[in-house]
Amino acid sequence: MANETANIKPKLTEGEVELYRWQHNNIGSGFKTALWDAIHRADTYNQNALAKGFPEQIEAYRRFAHEREYWEDVQRRYRDRYGV
């Protein structure tokens, strides 16, 4: 049983899907592109303000910016989910 749960990968959040697409210049609408560019440029104070409306996106960006191996994990889960 422990072996089975060790192999279960968490689902992608909306923020992680958008992060992947933003990094691959495939985010879609002008609003989403502008949002991710703003998140990228924002200081901590303004990221905190953006987090009130876009918590999953801010969490994904902060983990991308600060956690080792997070980006590789997101890419792997995205590929597994979407067959890219």
Instruction: Convert the pLDDT of each residue in 22-53 to its tens digit.
Output: 999 998 879 999 999 999 999 999 999 999 99
Task: Give the residue from 75, 31, 39 showing the smallest Cα distance to 59.
Answer: 39
Q: Judge whether 75 and 20 are in contact, CB under 8 Å.
A: yes
Instruction: Convert the pLDDT of each residue in 60-83 to its tens digit.
Output: 999 999 999 999 999 999 999 999
Domain boundaries, the chain: 12-82
Question: What's the predicted TM-score (pTM) here?
Answer: 0.85
